[in-house]
Structure 1
Amino acid sequence: MDILLILASGLTLIVFGVLWVQKRFTYWKKMGIPYEVPHFLYGNLKGVGQYDHDGLLTQKFYEKFKGISPIVGVYYSIKPVAIFIDINLIKDILIKDFASFHDRGIYYNERDDPLSTHLISLPGGKWKQLRNTCSPAFTSLKMKTMFSTMMEVGVKLEKKIDQVCKSGKALDIKKVMSLFTMDVIGSCAFGLETNSLEDENNEFFRMGISVFDNPRYSTRSTFVLQAFRGYARKLRLKLFRDEVIKFYTDLVRNTIDYRLKKKEGRNDFMQILIQLHTSKGEDNLSFNEVLGQTFVFHIAGFEASASILQFCFYELACNPDIQNRLRHHINQVLRKHDGEVTYEAIMDMKYLDQVVNETLRKNPPFGMLSRETTLNYKIPGTDCILEKGTSLHIPIYAIHHDPEFYPNPSKFNPDNFSEEAVKNRHPIAFLPFGAGPRACIGVRFGMMQVKLGVITGLRKFKYTLSPKTRQPIKLQSKFFVAQPEGGIWLNIESVD
């Protein structure tokens, strides 16, 4: 009798569970918004963590529903998520109606995982105050003062590439560029001589790489974590591994203590944060806030920039005419500046701008932008109202590969960013760093180190694809930052 009661109770719970999930999956239908039919177990996350990069996932929905509806409803597990498709509506969200969409809706847990508490993840008032406080660290003047430090690392990068060239081996471009960007960040953010280009086994490089190579959760699990942030905080779930949290906490604490004890000041990002940490005014930053900003600057600064650089050199290897034209342009501009790579010389390289922007267009580091409604929002031209707290995604990768904005989007074409082409294109059709008040704060720094990496790697060397590079490129699904499966390997030779 007891067994029958247990079985009956279990069956009842299963039936109620199934009915509850099915009811959740009627959300978009009741809203009157076109939607992608979800799978019972994982919603519309099929393929994520197995074979679909998030940019490719949202591209499927974008292409299927474009012209049918300004948005499409999907489900991440059982969580309703809106994917915005109409370009004018996306512009409103990012700029005109920003007050209703100022939060990203990204998971953070300040109590248990201070690394997750940074500008990218923080909501509302906390974000605004911190953004205003940190903005002076990323002005053009700051970039100019940091450039000499970057250039010292650039010299080491050229030596590293020359060593590979003389060895006759294929170049793992992502690895070399990760070493380069890691050293730039080490110098400009922490004031550390990390020497990753000379010793790739150092702990600073190993720990930074492990954030992406050995994450705490799979991509699909991370999507679910983001969807149920409130429950995750109650369960005190951390986004990063304990080893990573301890390493960065100790690094930042020791750096702050050393500089305060020695009364040593440096012209780097860390010094600006230390000044804010020790200030008595309203701009004061707690230790955890300093830790979070330093961590995200390090991680985003080295990984995203290294990703851009690897795809740039891949495209140049695939397009030798563009590679030769860019090399000629770089050397031509440098001759105008007495052969010196200076901040002013880089600003004068217009074709380099076009090549880097086309790399960002075709291979954006992040496939989508996340936002969350902070107020009820009536979708223009419809009777639909998105409720406060609704998660939404803007499909960067899909927009960048839409032939309406970029004819023959699979072709690498720097002329997509000629002055005339940019002027005639919708202003929101290019979103590698977002747009509006919440656009990437570190874009100047990131672009500067990417351009320096291209100049350093290209002016004395030329590249072709190695047979070790898998063709066609397939984006790995376990990374939120775009990475090609098997890496990109290049043959390299010196330019006579």
Structure 2
Amino acid sequence: MELTYILFQVAVALLAIVAYHVYRRLSYFKRRGIPHDPPHLFQGNLQGILTKRHMHEIIGDYYDKYQESKLPFVGFYFFQKPSAFILDLELAKHILIKDFSNFSDKGIFYNEKDDPISAHLFNLDGPQWRVLRNKLSSTFTAGKMKFMYPTLVSVADELIAVMHEKVKQNSVLEIRDLVSRFTVDVIGTCAFGIKCNSLRDESAEFLTVGKRVFLDKRHGSFMSGVMQSYPKLARRLGLVRTPSHIQAFYKRIVYETVALREKENIRRNDFMDLLIEMKNQKVTLDNGDVVSGLSIEEILAQAFIFFIAGFETSSSTMGYALYELARHPHIQDKVRAELEEVLEQHDQQFTYESTKDLKYLNQVICETLRLYTIVPHLDRKANKRFVVPGHPNFVIEAGQSIIIPSSAIHHDPNIYPEPSEFQPERFSAEESAKRSSVAWLPFGDGPRNCIGLRFGKMQALIGLALLIRNFKFSTCPKTADPLVYNPKSFVLAVDGIQLKVEAV
């Protein structure tokens, strides 16, 4: 009886400690006098996340509510994690560029021991991130992109052949699915040296698993909130984010590929070759330190994020671009005219050099990424206390989480007049020069921008160029207007885009 009483007292004491800690967390901004919305106990300011509301809607509504306040930031609770929600572009520039050394970390959960696939470049912090970024920086140079270019074009040619076959059978196509198959085949070839053949095989494993990554969850919202709110604690507890079937698939593919290439001395001059080279060589950093090559777990994580990021962002961008071009035939005609002019200058050949001349098509891609920002926000964390210039009462404390609402910034009418309208002219050299450099953030900015942005844009540009040259896209009764986004997906995703397609 006495033992039961003691255990009861211990349990009550622990609950009191936890309750006090949660209370302190959820009153963080109130104690500091920073404007914020009252948080939900578990979801913070993310009420309805992954059920009724998608992240872009939540971020956008919060930004719209406080943007006119002219404050540098307001408080935002990402589950139970207090975050500085940035409203001022000049402060965003300090965080991303000017004072990057103080904001180089993200503070996102990863667990290299129990969930090695989560310890990729996008998530890592501190020295681990710096070393890995340095190792991988040579992977996405212009020279490497030029080398992968012919492979990319060959997959694009296969896409055009498949499209011609499908158009003969039915003029209305689900275009989002088709461009997903294109990017899967490109990434599968360039990253793994594997011919996925998803353009012709509708049950291709690479495509099926790739789609599940953004929808399948290992845990419910409560445990996801724990990992987001308390990443260090979650790591100590050995929590794992990646679903077991996702881990098993990529681990099998990567480990088998690496073993076979090393045993047979196979070289394909693709992304996997570059990772294997790094596995077997030491790297000298800028400060003179020498570090060992990549481990097999690091290869797994980088191959995983390269595939997922390249597959989803590029295919979504292509799908949304075709949707807007179908709704704006005069813009589509202008893109097609530019294509013919550029190809005439390059002997009717799509060369790496010719893509640089497709300036208007590049503007279309930039405007698509603005209007349909795939990832809703950027995460950062302060390493040291930072007083906002010009606002002495607004302090970002050491360890403070930061949210830069890129998708909301892209829809701010003070930055982009008529933000819901599709206007590629916004990204002419003259118009771009009028805006802050951090007013367009689909790939982030500064030293921690997306390392694969050059590859992603090249993939989307080639795919769109060949599609527009060979086909005319238009809306039809099955075309959704407006598009309906899937609230269960963290990225901006739709279940399909139906367009009428005719061969040119």
Normalising by the residue count of structure 1, what TM-score does the alignment of the two structures yield? Answer: 0.94
- Measure how far apart 1:333 and its partner are: 1.1
3-state DSSP of counterpart to 2:500: strand
Q: Aligned AA for 2:486?
A: Q
- 1:9, distance to aligned residue in structure 2 (A): 11
Partner of 2:32: 31
Q: Does 1:112 align with 2:102?
A: no
Structure 1 residues 67 and 374, CA gap change in structure 2 (3 angstroms): same
Find the residue that maps to 1:213 and give its secondary structure.
coil
Among residues 331, 350, 375, which one is paired with 1:366 in the alignment? Answer: 375
CA deviations on 1:56-87 (whole Å, 9 max, x unpaired) are 21222212112421111021233211111100
Q: Is 1:437 aligned to 2:439, yes or no? A: no
What is the CA distance between 1:6 and its match in structure 2?
Answer: 11
**Structure 1 residue 283 displacement after superposition:** 4.7
SS in structure 1 opposite 2:438? coil
Q: What is the alpha-carbon distance in structure 2 between the residues aligned to residue 470 and residue 218 of structure 1?
A: 30
Q: CA deviation at 1:245?
A: 1.1
Q: CA deviation at 1:468?
A: 2.9
Task: Indicate the SS of the match to 2:472.
Answer: strand
Between stretches 120-129 and 6-15, larger displacement belongs to 6-15
Asked if structure 1 preserves the Cα contact closer than 8 Å seen for 2:226 and 2:234, the reply is no
Residue aligning to 1:320: 329
The Cα of 1:334 is off from its aligned counterpart by 1.0
Match of 2:198 in 1: 196
Which stretch shifts more, 156-165 or 355-364? 156-165
The one-letter amino acid of 1:84's match is: I
* Structure 1 residue 94 displacement after superposition: 0.1
Alignment match, 1:79: 81
Q: Paired residue for 1:141?
A: 143
Residues 7-156 of structure 1 mapped to structure 2, 5 A cutoff: 21-68=22-69, 69-156=71-158
Q: Match for 1:382 among 392, 398, 410?
A: 392
Structure 2 Cα separation of the partners of residues 223 and 466 of structure 1: 41
Quick one: distance in 2 between partners of 1:369 and 1:223?
Answer: 18
Pairing 1:471–2:481 present: yes
User: Among residues 450, 453, 457, which one is paired with 1:447 in the alignment?
Assistant: 457
Is the 8 Å Cα contact of residues 103 and 381 (structure 2) preserved in structure 1?
A: yes
More off after superposition, 162-171 vs 267-276: 162-171
Alignment correspondent of 1:296: 305
Single out whichever of 11-20 and 310-319 deviates more from structure 2. Answer: 11-20
Conserved? CA contact 2:478–2:498, under 8 Å:
yes
Give the distance between the partners of 2:373 and 2:195, measured in 1 at CA.
30
Q: Secondary structure in 1 aligned to 2:76?
A: strand
Mean Cα displacement is larger for which, 342-351 or 59-68?
59-68
Q: Which amino acid aligns with 1:479?
A: S
2:244 paired residue number:
242
Distance apart, 1:261 and its partner CA: 1.2
Partner of 2:177: 175
CA spacing shift, 1:99–1:5, aligned 2, 3 Å: closer
Q: Any idea what SS the aligned residue of 2:214 has? A: helix
8 Å CA contact 1:219–1:478 kept in 2: the answer is: no
- The farther-off stretch of 33-42 and 328-337 is 33-42
Is the Cα–Cα contact under 8 Å of residues 371 and 393 in structure 1 kept in the other structure?
Answer: yes
Per the alignment, residue 483 of structure 1 pairs with 493
Shift of 1:162: 1.2
Tell me, which stretches of 5 or more residues in structure 1 are unaligned?
Answer: none
Over 3 Å counting, the alpha-carbon distance change for 1:124 and 1:420 in structure 2 is: same
- Cα distance in 2 between the residues matched to 1:477 and 1:107: 22
Deviation at 1:105, TM superposition (A): 1.4
Instruction: Tell me whether 317-326 or 164-173 shows the greater mean CA deviation.
Output: 164-173
Question: Is the 8 Å Cα contact of residues 164 and 170 (structure 1) preserved in structure 2?
Answer: no
AA aligned opposite 1:132: N
In structure 2, how many angstroms separate the alpha carbons of the residues matched to 1:465 and 1:224? 44
In the alignment, the residues of structure 2 paired with residue 113 and residue 419 of structure 1 have an alpha-carbon distance, to the nearest angstrom, of 44
Report deviation, 1:223. Answer: 4.7
In 2, the alpha carbon distance for the partners of 1:470 and 1:413 equals 20
Matched, 1:258 2:272: no
Cα distance in 2, alignment partners of residues 228 and 356 from structure 1: 37
| Aligned partner of 1:401 among 395, 402, 411 | 411
Task: Look up the equivalent residue of 2:374 and give its one-letter code.
Answer: P
Aligned residues: 493
Mean CA deviation greater in 456-465 or 403-412: 456-465
Aligned partners of 1:475, 1:124: CA distance in 2, in Å?
35
Q: CA deviation at 1:294?
A: 0.7
400, 403, 411: which one pairs with 2:421?
A: 411
CA distance in 2, matches of 1:14, 1:443: 47
Letter of the aligned partner of 1:375 in structure 2? Answer: K
Aligned counterpart in structure 1 of residue 472 of structure 2, from 459, 462, 467? 462
